[in-house]
């Protein structure tokens, strides 16, 4: 085992450990301990995995004198072979932050005041009971997260769907991986990631679609970098309007105008079909829908897409040739595709590439419809996001019956009269007053949802009783009626699953502060106080702690694609990460799925019957049966539609928002880690050199970015972004970054639009029409990162 020391802020990807195609990725163990502590002096190392992204890097938490003092990558973990992402190296410091929530809070006379659990839970129970008695289950909604643990989601889903019977259950996964799930359902009949990270070891072409992996799954990028430095490096294709670290390393970088992904994808598919770079045998044996797809993409020669996307037609041809002639193609997709008006339509075209080329289930041939949050996969599996537990189909009565039997409740108790309510619709119901209570756990919608002025108004309504459950005070807790202090990662026990289906166990390293409690305990406490019962009068849910919740979940997952029946806490302790399905048939887990060209798309088994890619209207069961009686993969064609809000003379820019390497979301953790905070302490806006010149802006000047929803004032960074596009990081809300003294906002979501993909219902964070205006001169370079997509031009 080799240990590398590097400066994790200025060299976030560290030193290279090159390896050859088909080889083993070498180990490199990253470690950070407070005060340059000697690893030998650590009392205990506690098994866990990373929670500041979806990569699932295995790591150990260092404990000394009952306090967390650092982390170290696990050399034996299949995901990271010892490496640790910069945020994870430093982010743990937030756990011990002075300003953790340590008692429940309750609103009295307009102010939040400290209270005890008894009072806080009684308030929640009283309001719940009142609403259930007067207005019924549909007056209560739950908005949860992609950051709790599997056991917590399964419990919340069981309470909401099984005990209360409300259809209003969703996660912030709606903002995050709703499109990943939906694209997988559309193409393969079911959620579930076909690929594996080991595909990086074997691929000869890696294509990244709207995915800045270098900043958002840094360890996965280290793996790609190490292949790039080794013998037979893969070719890299990057589709991103910014000059990201990925774009800088790419053989072909396509920088489309935001919101035009479908046109670009159709042109790539056009080239594959036109040149015969497709596997007709595979298509005939394993798919339906080829004729329609062929007709649709015939309308998209590269010249047409070039005009729409404003990229050179030859660059599209070059990318298509690489994809079309690859022996082993790995594709990844993320928010550049998912957070736009045709999100599912675009993401599905990536699946189509793999289906046309017969490139699934073999080493190097994977699609990763990436997750973002560490536990988003579990929100989906466990049915805490509107899906039903175990990837069951809400429109299939047999699946409802299975759940009803499992939970020993009446089938009619489990809502399935309509598609599950999505988060944006829940906020709409709250706005209209039909939702009387919203219980928000581990998410900060007053910073992360679009059009914040509207969201603040909704959360502040008298007609809405808001419960929040968090580790810290946030923009959202400040609008709540009851605030419940939660234990976080490192303080509680449970499992979670990353973007390549790898399940990790995370053990408690320290006690939660004050009266903070694990989310699981809070949900179970609520169930007991509400006195929820099954058909026999027994307490529901019947489980009582993480391990019994996990065992209950195993039963629920039995026979479903996400089969956990072969797993146990002990096995996860002994073996580290294991990929589902893991059952009697696959006792060691499953590296890849769909190797045999068989999909989980059978009409009786599939999770969804699919939707119309333009309107989002769900297909009737009979329509699906007629289209796909054999349960094959579905090649779904999509027409290109213009973004809903396009630049105009008053708003001539396209606004995109996203991430930087050093921060996680609304910064509740990363702003409390000094190293991370100082790497990117303030928000900024990025424009191209040509746009800056035209507007008379120099690096570091203060600019106003405005859309029809609002305006922010931030420093300007002149970066490698394409002309006509302005980028703003979305990390800076106003709890930790109050409006400036003169009252100007700084949060990206003051600007974003209330609009979503009709199919996945994922909000459009990546296109809005915007104006950029010079306000005043700055005092030097903007306080933005120097190492990343945001690097100033002079640093390149
Ligand atoms: N450092 C860090 N890492 C994280 C997170 C974090 O907050 N910070 N969050 C985690 C989570 S929850 C998520 S969901 C992931 C997100 O990970 P990513 O999706 O990689 O991150 P984003 O920055 O949201 O968007 C990716 C890229 O999309 C590009 N883009 C914008 N519009 C378009 C478009 O129209 N077309 C194309 N092709 N590209 C476009 C942007 O320029 C941006 O570089 O990251 C995870 N990892
Ligand atoms: N403009 C714009 N907006 C975006 C995006 C974008 O790209 N652009 N991306 C979207 C995406 S992909 C995502 S995932 C969302 C993220 O948006 P949010 O989920 O709102 O962001 P976080 O800051 O991660 O909020 C999680 C909260 O949970 C708390 N927490 C952490 N661990 C625990 C725990 O164990 N228990 C409890 N109870 N609380 C805990 C944290 O303190 C924090 O307040 O933002 C979305 N919003
Ligand atoms: Mo996300």
pLDDT tens-digit profile of 19-35?
A: 999 999 999 999 999 99
Distance CA 142, CA 62 (A): 34
Q: Ligand 2 pocket check: which of 94, 105, 145, 453 to mutate, most ligand atoms within 8 Å of Cβ?
A: 145
Q: pLDDT tens, 223-281?
A: 999 999 999 999 999 999 999 999 999 999 999 999 999 999 999 999 999 999 999 99
Answer whether the bond into residue 581 is a cis peptide, omega within 30°. Answer: yes
Q: pLDDT tens, 642-657?
A: 999 999 999 999 999 9
Q: What is the pTM of this model?
A: 0.97
Band (pLDDT 50/70/90 cuts) for residue 733 is confident
| Pair 703, 773: CB distance under 8 Å | yes
User: Ligand 2: which atom is nearest the Cα of residue 94?
Assistant: 42
What class does CATH assign to 1-98?
mainly beta
Band (pLDDT 50/70/90 cuts) for residue 403 is very high
| pLDDT for the residue 190 | 98
Q: Measured in angstroms, how far is the CA atom of residue 449 from the centroid of ligand 3?
A: 12
The CATH code belonging to domain 178-370+605-634 is: 3.40.228.10
How confident is the model over 484-489, as a mean pLDDT?
98
The CATH code belonging to domain 653-795 is: 2.40.40.20
Q: Ligand 2 pocket check: which of 147, 337, 370, 521 to mutate, most ligand atoms within 8 Å of Cβ?
A: 147
What class does CATH assign to 116-176+375-496+509-560?
alpha beta
Fold agreement (116-176+375-496+509-560, 178-370+605-634): no
What residue spans define the domains of the chain? 1-98, 116-176+375-496+509-560, 178-370+605-634, 653-795
Distance CA 732, CA 196 (A): 33
Q: Measured in angstroms, how far is the CA atom of residue 260 from the centroid of ligand 1?
A: 16
| pLDDT for the residue 340 | 97
| pLDDT for the residue 743 | 72
| Pair 527, 550: CB distance under 8 Å | no
Band (pLDDT 50/70/90 cuts) for residue 548 is very high
Ligand closest in space to the Cα of 523: 2
Question: Which residues form ligand 2's pocket by a CB distance below 6 Å?
Answer: 145-148, 172, 175-176, 335, 339, 372-373, 441-445, 448, 469-472, 474, 486, 488-489, 519, 657-658, 665-666, 668, 730, 748-749, 752, 765
Q: pLDDT tens, 416-434?
A: 988 889 999 999 999 999 9
Distance CA 496, CA 553 (A): 12
Q: Is 233 helix (H, G, I), strand (E, B) or coil?
A: coil
Q: Ligand 2 pocket check: which of 522, 668, 705, 733 to mutate, most ligand atoms within 8 Å of Cβ?
A: 668
Residue written as token pair 């009949």: 189
- The protein residue whose alpha carbon is closest to atom 32 in ligand 1 is 336
| pLDDT for the residue 105 | 98
Q: Measured in angstroms, how far is the CA atom of residue 613 from the centroid of ligand 3?
A: 22
Task: Dig out the tokens for 544 from the structure.
Answer: 């009582």
| Pair 753, 764: CB distance under 8 Å | yes
Question: Which residues form ligand 1's pocket by a CB distance below 6 Å?
Answer: 53-54, 87, 176, 209-212, 215-216, 239-242, 244, 256, 258-259, 261, 334-336, 340, 372-373, 656, 658-659, 661, 663-665, 766, 789
Band (pLDDT 50/70/90 cuts) for residue 113 is very high
User: Ligand 2: which atom is nearest the Cα of residue 522?
Assistant: 38
How far is CA 453 from each of CA 161, 426, 621, 775, rounded to the nearest angstrom? 31, 17, 40, 23
| pLDDT for the residue 305 | 98
From the list 214, 220, 230, the residue with the least C-alpha distance to 199 is 220
Distance CA 338, CA 234 (A): 25
Q: Measured in angstroms, how far is the CA atom of residue 134 from the centroid of ligand 1?
A: 43
Q: Name 767's Cβ contacts closer than 8 Å, sequence gap at least 6.
A: 258, 259, 340, 341, 643, 644, 645, 654, 655, 656
Q: Ligand 2 pocket check: which of 92, 339, 470 to mutate, most ligand atoms within 8 Å of Cβ?
A: 470
User: Ligand 1: which atom is nearest the Cα of residue 789?
Assistant: 44
| pLDDT for the residue 735 | 65
How confident is the model over 533-562, as a mean pLDDT?
98
- The protein residue whose alpha carbon is closest to atom 3 in ligand 1 is 216
Average pLDDT taken over every residue of the chain: 96
Q: Measured in angstroms, how far is the CA atom of residue 444 from the centroid of ligand 2?
A: 6
Q: pLDDT tens, 754-784?
A: 999 999 999 999 999 999 999 999 989 999 9
Distance CA 714, CA 732 (A): 11
Distance CA 345, CA 576 (A): 36
| pLDDT for the residue 1 | 36
Q: Name 151's Cβ contacts closer than 8 Å, sequence gap at least 6.
A: 494, 495, 520, 546, 549, 550, 553
Q: Measured in angstroms, how far is the CA atom of residue 412 from the centroid of ligand 3?
A: 33
| Pair 761, 175: CB distance under 8 Å | no
| pLDDT for the residue 199 | 98
Q: pLDDT tens, 140-166?
A: 999 999 999 999 999 999 999 999 999
Answer whether the bond into residue 541 is a cis peptide, omega within 30°. Answer: yes
């Amino acid at each position: 085992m080799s240990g590398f020391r590097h400066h994790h802020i200025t060299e976030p990807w560290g030193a290279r450990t090159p390896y050859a195609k088909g080889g083993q990725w070498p180990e490199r163990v990253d470690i950070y301990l407070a005060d340059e502590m000697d690893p030998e002096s650590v009392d205990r190392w506690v098994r866990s995995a990373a929670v500041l992204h979806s990569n699932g890097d295995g790591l150990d938490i260092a404990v000394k004198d009952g306090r967390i003092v650092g982390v170290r990558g696990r050399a034996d973990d299949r995901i990271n072979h010892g490496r640790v992402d910069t945020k994870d190296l430093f982010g743990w410091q937030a756990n011990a932050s002075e300003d953790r929530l340590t008692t429940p809070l309750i609103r009295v006379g307009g102010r939040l005041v400290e209270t005890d659990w008894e009072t806080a839970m009684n308030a929640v129970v009283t309001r719940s009971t009142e609403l259930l008695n007067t207005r019924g289950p549909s007056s209560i909604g739950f908005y949860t997260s992609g950051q709790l643990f599997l056991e917590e989601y399964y419990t919340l889903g069981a309470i909401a769907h099984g005990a209360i019977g409300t259809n209003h259950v969703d996660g912030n996964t709606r903002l995050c991986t709703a499109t990943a799930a939906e694209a997988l359902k559309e193409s393969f009949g079911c959620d579930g990631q076909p690929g594996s990270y080991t595909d990086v070891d074997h691929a000869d072409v890696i294509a990244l679609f709207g995915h800045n992996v270098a900043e958002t799954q840094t360890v996965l990028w280290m793996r790609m970098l190490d292949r790039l430095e080794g013998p037979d490096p893969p070719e890299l294709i990057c589709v991103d309007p910014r000059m990201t670290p990925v774009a800088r390393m790419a053989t072909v970088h396509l920088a489309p105008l935001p919101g035009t992904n479908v046109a670009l994808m159709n042109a790539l598919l056009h080239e594959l079909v036109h040149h015969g770079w497709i596997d007709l045998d595979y298509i005939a044996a394993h798919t339906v829908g080829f004729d329609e797809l062929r007709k649709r993409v015939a309308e998209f020669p590269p010249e047409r897409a070039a005009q729409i996307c404003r990229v050179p037609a030859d660059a599209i041809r070059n990318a298509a040739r690489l994809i079309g002639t690859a022996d082993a193609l790995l594709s990844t997709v993320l928010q550049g595709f998912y957070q736009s008006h045709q999100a599912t339509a675009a993401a599905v075209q990536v699946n189509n590439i793999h289906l046309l080329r017969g490139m699934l289930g073999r080493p190097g041939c994977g699609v990763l419809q990436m997750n973002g949050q560490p536990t988003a996969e579990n929100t989906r599996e466990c049915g805490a996001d509107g899906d039903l537990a175990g990837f069951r189909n809400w429109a299939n009565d047999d699946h409802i019956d299975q759940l009803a039997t499992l939970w020993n409740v009446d089938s009619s108790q489990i809502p399935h009269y309509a598609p599950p309510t999505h988060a944006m619709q829940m906020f709409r119901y709250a706005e209209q007053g039909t939702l009387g209570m919203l219980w928000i756990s581990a998410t900060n919608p007053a910073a992360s949802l679009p059009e914040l002025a509207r969201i603040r108004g909704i959360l502040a309504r008298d007609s809405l009783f808001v419960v929040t459950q968090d580790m810290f005070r946030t923009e959202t807790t400040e609008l709540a009626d009851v605030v419940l202090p939660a234990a976080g990662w490192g303080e509680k026990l449970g499992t979670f699953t990353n973007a390549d289906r790898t399940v990790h166990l995370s053990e408690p390293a320290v006690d939660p502060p004050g009266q903070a409690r694990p989310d699981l305990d809070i949900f179970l406490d609520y169930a007991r106080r509400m006195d929820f019962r099954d058909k026999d009068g027994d307490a529901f849910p019947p489980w009582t702690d993480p391990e019994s919740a996990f065992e209950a979940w195993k039963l629920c997952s039995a026979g479903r694609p996400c089969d956990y029946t072969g797993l146990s806490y002990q096995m996860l302790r002994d073996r580290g990460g294991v990929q589902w399905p893991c059952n009697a048939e696959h006792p060691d887990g499953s590296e890849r799925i769909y190797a045999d060209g068989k999909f989980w798309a059978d009409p009786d088994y599939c999770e969804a019957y699919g939707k119309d890619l333009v309107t989002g209207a769900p297909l009737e069961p009979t329509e699906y049966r007629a289209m796909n009686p054999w349960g094959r993969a579905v090649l779904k064609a999509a027409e290109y539609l213009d973004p809903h809000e396009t630049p105009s003379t008053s708003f001539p820019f396209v606004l995109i928002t996203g991430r930087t390497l050093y921060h996680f979301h609304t910064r509740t953790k990363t702003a409390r880690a000094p190293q991370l905070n100082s790497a990117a302490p303030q928000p900024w806006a990025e424009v191209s050199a040509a746009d800056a010149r035209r507007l008379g802006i120099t690096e570091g000047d203060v600019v106003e970015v405005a859309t029809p929803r609002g305006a922010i004032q931030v420093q300007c960074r002149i970066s490698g972004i394409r002309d006509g596009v302005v980028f703003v990081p979305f990390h800076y809300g106003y709890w930790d970054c109050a409006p400036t003294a003169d009252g100007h906002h700084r949060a990206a979501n003051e600007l974003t639009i209330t609009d979503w993909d009709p199919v996945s219902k994922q909000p459009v964070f990546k296109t809005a029409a915007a104006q950029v205006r010079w306000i005043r001169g700055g005092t030097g370079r903007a306080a933005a990162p120097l190492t990343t997509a945001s690097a100033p031009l002079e640093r390149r």
